Amino acid sequence: MATERTLSIIKPDATRRNLTGKINARFEEAGLRIVAQKRVRLTKEQAQQFYSVHAERSFFGELVDFMISGPVVVQVLEGEGAVARNREIMGATNPANAAPGTIRADFAESVEANSVHGSDSAENAAIEIAYFFAGCEIAG
Ligand code: UDP
């Protein structure tokens, strides 16, 4: 499997509970490397654009309000099959369905406040990474 990069976001429910280090330990223990990282507050426009694929869904407005309710940590993870590996470590969207030992099973508060985002394909990873980082901000 090839070395890949994927976009990860530690969401406001997790930064509020000071879980950044515990969550990132999961990625590092699984062999993923954090090659770019910043803690930011998303603007409403950024959150709307980032989740624009969900614009027609009933939960969109609440999701945007949640994503701007506190700081997030946006980061690039690098490693063998990083996109799929990250999704495995995160667990299912709804923590009630997430496998034991996954980040969402262990830390998520709800289907909305589910602690982490991870790109769902290599194509989206490239788009999402370029949305948050300039090439010179990524040090592999
Ligand atoms: N979400 C929500 N309600 C739902 C489904 C999703 O609030 O019924 C939120 C949740 O925070 C999720 C995000 O919308 O992580 C994006 O949804 P997606 O289906 O892309 O899930 P993910 O790829 O994050 O697992």
Tell if the pTM clears 0.80, that is, is over it: yes
Give the model's pLDDT for residue 127: 98
Give the model's pLDDT for residue 1: 76
Catalytic choice (5, 26, 85, 117): 117
Query: Residue 14: which of 103, 120, 133 has the closest Cα?
Result: 103
Q: Is the backbone of residue 14 left (phi > 0), alpha (psi -120 to 50) or beta?
A: alpha
Q: What percent of the chain has pLDDT over 70?
A: 100
ipTM, two decimals, is: 0.98
Q: Domains along the chain?
A: 3-137 (3.30.70.141)
Atom 10 of ligand 1, nearest CA residue? 112
